[in-house]
Amino acid sequence: MDDYPLLNLFWTMLWFFLWVMWFFLLFKIITDIFRDHTLHGWAKAGWLILVLLLPFLGVFIYVIVRGHSMHERDAKQYQENQEAFRSYVQQAAGTSGGSAEELSKLSALKDKGDITQEEFDRAKSKLLA
Q: To 10 degrees, the CA torsion angle through 98, 104, 108, 111?
A: 140
Question: Does residue 88 surpass a pLDDT of 60?
Answer: yes
Pick the residue with more confidence: 66 or 98?
Answer: 66
Computed over every residue of the chain, the mean pLDDT equals 87
Provide the whole-model pTM.
0.59
Helix (H, G, I), strand (E, B) or coil at 89: helix
Which residues have C-beta within 8 Å of that of residue 36, sequence separation ≥ 6? 44, 66, 69, 73
pLDDT 10s digits, 27-48? 999 999 998 888 899 999 999 9
- In whole angstroms, what is the distance from residue 121 CA to residue 105 CA? 13
In percent, the amount of the chain with pLDDT more than 90 equals 45
Q: What is the pLDDT of residue 95?
A: 54
